[in-house]
Structure 1
Amino acid sequence: MAGTVAWVPTGGTIEAVADDRLDLVSYGESGRRTTPAEILAGLPELARAARVRPVPWADPGRAQLPPSHAWTFRDLASLARLVRDAAAASDGVVVTCGTNGLEETAYFLDLVLDGSVPVVVTGAMRPSSALAPDGPANLLAAVRVAAHPAARECGVLVVLDDEILPAREAAKSATYHRGAFRAPGYGPLGYVDADGEVVMRRRPALVAARPRFDLDALPGPPPRVDVVTSYLGADGALVDAAVSAGARGIVHAGLGAGHPTPAEWESLKAAAGAGVLVCQSTRVGSGRVVPHGPIRAGGFVACGDLSPWKARLLLALALARGDGAGAVLALFDAS
């Protein structure tokens, strides 16, 4: 048995209980949950992978934690501190959470944790009451990865459906399918095989050089950063609204390789001229945004291959730290 793995359960589909075993949609409305203790009791196979130590995440100000799609920056920072403390007394950490916010949660943890202890994020696409729930197998696979030496120095990992993905690249690509999580353009790092063996075929690139933020130095809620998604015929109203709402940063999810419409470009250029840091991303599911002509002309930062939602997190943390445009550009280049 390989050491101790701390498990931080935060709710989500993996704990949900529906009124019907065929309910794979409305189970959240039942209000019923299976407890972490019940999950452990129903999964004795975990003991073959590691000594699993539950670490509850509680908020004295709330009777229960909100679902992952309702988490705020405050929630992410609170979770990160708990994971950091758990990692200091463990050989690995597993976080289970709702899949709606999983990709952003994993990336936030990747940006603020030092990576010295493996941290794996997992969840479930089907509730615990389903005819064929995926949560128990996902939790077991995540514990196996967190306890494995190959997971060290890889940054935060995401493990679902037996695939091992880096937090930076992991994306939810389906609303209900079990194999919802993918790393578009890159593929998995490896997988947990049928015999329980953790097989790593590649390692994340540039982990040591990636941005890291001091969790204790964060000043509280970061400056407002909005994501504006483009579409044919879009005017600049949403960009202007973000500026009016006080945004200090805007991530624009443009068409194709990162192109705003003409009207959006005028509003984005005006926003940049007013001191708002504009980062150009794409609404496309994979591929890089490079600093092409409109990006350079507008004084924008190209987001590379970061998704708009992850680019927002990176930009918000950078602005909270006081980074200017040049430093932000270097961050995106290194990320």
Structure 2
Amino acid sequence: MTVALFTLGGTIAMADAGAGERGGAVVPRLTGADLAAAVPGLDIPLDVHDTQSVPSPDLTFRGLLDLVEQASKAVRAGARGVVVTQGTDTLEESAFLIDLVWPHPEPFVLTGAMRNPTLAGPDGPANLLAAARVAAADEARDLGALVVLNDEIHAARSVRKAHATSTAAFTSPDTGPVGHVIEGTPRILTRPPRRTPLTPGPAAPARVALHTVTLDDDGHALTRLGEDDGVRGLVVAGFGVGHVSSRLAPVLGDLATRIPVVLTSRTGAGSVLRHTYGAPGSESDLQRRGLLNAGLLDPYKARVLLRLLLMTEGATTEDIAEAFTRYA
């Protein structure tokens, strides 16, 4: 059986633009066939679909949901699994969005590269080979979306890009990787529980703001949010376990009467707490004011989940709160 390969561009597909073009910088140019041809020892047949060729900041919610539909068709046609190559800048968000909606047991594996093919030691070929082997592995079934780079296998729900340039940029700070590719063979070491996939509603992806709390933050920039700018939700990246200043707390509480406001931590690992601290601006106080607890989800993943939930017409704050309890 084949593995379906969908290419979206990114560093893994970069080539030299030429000295007279964009200052000689690299741009997305390589096709899926080019990527496959550069992989030594590739022994898994790939059914190549060149979907886009863009830097990953140009990927969109709607485009990724359309990609899931195309991947579903490939699986229904007999593909053993799916591999997507894209830029690493937004890979953790793409993977989580896909994981929330992917309905099949077949593996959906995302990969990319930190070193473009013009550099010494590009990691794209090794990452693509490892991703294809994971996508074809029976052991990887029923794990949803996975991220494979540097011979590590990460669950989409946990993975983060934690370094700007290192080939070991992707980590899962709360859990570690779910497995490794060892001598070309995927080894799954732990199996996180699979959650029921969400079905996106027909509405356009909602506009959701993200506010990172900082020292001496009074929230003035947030006071009119959601009134006339089309913003339908807010994710707050608070201090530590989910704290803000006592000055910011009533601003967030007022917003929570108008739009869903989700509380996360800006730290990069660990959970927002629920009932340990009680001072104004603490997690307990913010929940009393109507903020929704995102648990272990980082701010970026919480924003993905909230946008997806808001695509369903008639979704209430209670529906959204229940979904965050299940998925966070």
> Which residue of the other structure, out of 245, 258, 263, is the alignment partner of 2:247?
263
Q: CA shift at 1:146, angstroms?
A: 0.4
Determine the C-alpha separation between the residues in 1 that align with 2:31 and 2:51. 13
Q: Percent identity?
A: 38
2:310 equivalent to 1:319: yes
Residue of structure 2 in register with 1:147 after alignment: 136
Q: Contact between 1:122 and 1:158, CA under 8 Å: does it hold in 2?
A: yes
Distance in 1 (CA, whole Å) between partners of 2:74 and 2:251 is 45
Q: What does the per-residue CA deviation read over 1:142-188, in whole Å, with 9 as the maximum and x for residues that have no partner?
A: 00100000110011000000000000101000000100000011101
CA contact (8 A) 2:2 2:46 kept: yes
**1:37 is aligned to 2:33:** yes
Q: Contact conserved, 2:147 with 2:156, CA < 8 A, in 1? A: yes
1:226 aligns with 2:217: no
Q: Deviations over 1:275-306 (max 9, x none)?
A: 21111001011111133312322111100000
Letter in 1 for 2:31: T
Q: What is the CA-CA distance between 1:241 and the residue it aligns to?
A: 4.9
In structure 2, C-alpha distance between the alignment counterparts of 1:333 and 1:27, rounded to whole Å: 49
CA distance in 1, matches of 2:32, 2:291: 46
Alignment partner, residue 81 of structure 1: 69
Corresponding letter in the other structure for 1:29: A
Give 1:192's aligned residue.
Answer: 181
The equivalent residue for 2:164 is: 175
Q: Tell me which amino acid in the other structure corresponds to 1:34.
A: L
> Does the residue aligned with 2:51 lie in a helix, a strand or coil?
coil
Q: TM (normalized to structure 1)?
A: 0.88
| Deviations 1:6-25 (CA, angstroms, capped at 9, x unpaired) | 100110000112479xxxxx
Aligned-partner Cα distance in 2 for 1:27–1:258: 45
- 2:234 is equivalent to residue 250 of structure 1: yes
What is aligned with 2:3? 5
Work out whether residues 82 and 106 of structure 2, in 8 Å CA contact, stay in contact via their aligned partners in 1. yes
- SS, match of residue 270 in structure 1: helix
- Superposition deviation, residue 261 in structure 1: 1.9
Unpaired runs of 5+ residues, structure 2, are: 276-283
SS at match of 2:50: coil
Tell me whether 1:158 sits opposite 2:150 in the alignment: no
Distance in 2 separating the partners of 1:291 and 1:326:
17
Q: Find the residue that maps to 2:191 and give its secondary structure.
A: coil
CA offset at residue 38 of structure 1?
1.9
For 1:83, what is the secondary structure of its paired residue? helix
The one-letter amino acid of 1:236's match is G
Whether the 8 Å CA contact 1:16–1:27 is kept in 2: the answer is: no
Residues 271 and 185 (structure 1 numbering): CA distance in 2 closer, same or farther, change over 3 Å?
same
Cα distance 1:16–1:162, how it changes in 2: closer, same or farther (>3 A)? Answer: same
Give aligned pairs, total: 313
Q: 1:224 to 1:323 in 2, by over 3 A?
A: same
Unaligned 5+ residue runs, structure 1? 21-25, 59-64
Contact 1:228-1:238 within 8 A present in 2 as well: no
The Cα of 1:212 is off from its aligned counterpart by: 2.1
Residue of 53, 60, 85 corresponding to 1:72: 60
Match of 2:119 among 117, 130, 151: 130
TM-score normalised by length of structure 2: 0.90
Aligned-residue offset at 1:32: 6.0
Cα distance, 1:28 vs. partner?
8.7
CA distance, structure 1, for counterparts of residue 28 and residue 134 of structure 2:
29
Contact 2:107 2:142 in 1 (8 A): yes
